[in-house]
Amino acid sequence: MNPISPELPLLAPTSIDDLRMQGHSTLRMPQKADTGIENLLLSDARAREAAMKAEAMKVAFAESRMNKKRGRAIAKAKDRLAQRIAEGR
């Protein structure tokens, strides 16, 4: 005689994609909020200072990248000129 057993819970999905994505949501970084300096005006001073420093570093890096690019272009032009002179053109 078999007593009536309670309903068994459904099994969790076991497809490859479901298993791969199981722990993924806990590892995911939160979405980045708008990090403009304007949004920090009512915030604390340290966060505002850090944002201003990051913005200044971004501008400085862009400047140095443009200077390096310009320097490479000038060096390339000088090399082409030297090559033309050496070939007698």
* Residues 10, 12, 16, 21, CA torsion sign: positive
Across the chain, how many H-helices and E-strands are there? 3, 0
* Residues 1-28 pLDDT 10s: 566 777 877 777 777 777 666 666 555 6
Residues 40/47, Cβ–Cβ less than 8 Å? yes
CA separation for the pair 40, 50 (Å, rounded) = 10
**Nearest to 51, CA basis, from 63, 35, 62, 32:** 35
* Residues 21-41 pLDDT 10s: 666 655 566 666 665 555 555
Claim: this prediction has a pTM higher than 0.75:
no
* Residues 42-84 pLDDT 10s: 568 888 888 899 999 999 999 999 999 999 999 999 999 999 9
pLDDT of residue 29: 63
